[in-house]
Amino acid sequence: MQEALPVTFSLPRHGGNGGHGGYGRWLLVMLMLLGALTPLHASEDGRNSNKRYSDQSVHGYMTERTCWWNEVCKEEFQNLFRCKCPQYSYCRSPGRYYNAYCSMTDTGYIWTQLALGTVER
């Protein structure tokens, strides 16, 4: 069985680069290396989780009323919204074939809603 070799790491001495750089340059290089090797943002499965998909295929409402927060605004496989989400809320779902709920989060699958009373031509 092979024995692990010890790894030594030493800081440069003052004046080691003609008196310029020293610890500051070493620290800068280490921070740049650390930044280059660290992913900025990824979910646990390695994909970026802040994606937003917008769907404009639904054009009407079953009832012309405003939803409550976190209420189902669109049921799966339906071509009409149940209600209109309040201002600053989105009708969102985890995917196209799921129930959508009114939420302030603008990520996921967003169902674009027209104003109540608006007729799409």
The full set of domain ranges for the chain reads 51-115
pLDDT, residue 1, reads: 61
Q: Give the position of tokens 């660290």.
A: 38
Q: What is the DSSP string of 59-85?
A: --BSS--BPPTT-EEE-TT-SSBSSBP
Contacts for 91 with CB less than 8 Å, ≥ 6 apart: 73, 74, 81, 85, 100, 101, 102, 110, 111, 113
Sheet holding 72-74, edge to edge: 52-55, 108-111, 90-93, 100-103, 72-74
In this predicted structure, what is the pLDDT of residue 52? 84
pLDDT of residue 75: 96
Distance CA 70, CA 90 (A): 10
* pLDDT reported for residue 115: 86
N- to C-terminal Cα separation, the chain: 77
pLDDT per residue of the chain (121 residues) written in tens, 0 to 9: 667 667 666 655 555 555 555 677 878 877 777 767 666 544 444 455 578 899 999 989 999 999 999 999 999 999 999 999 999 999 999 999 999 999 999 899 999 998 887 655 4
pTM higher than the cut 0.85: no
Which DSSP category does 22 fall into? H
Instruction: Give the span between the Cα atoms of 41 and 51, in whole angstroms.
Output: 12
Here the tokens at position 29 are 């290089």
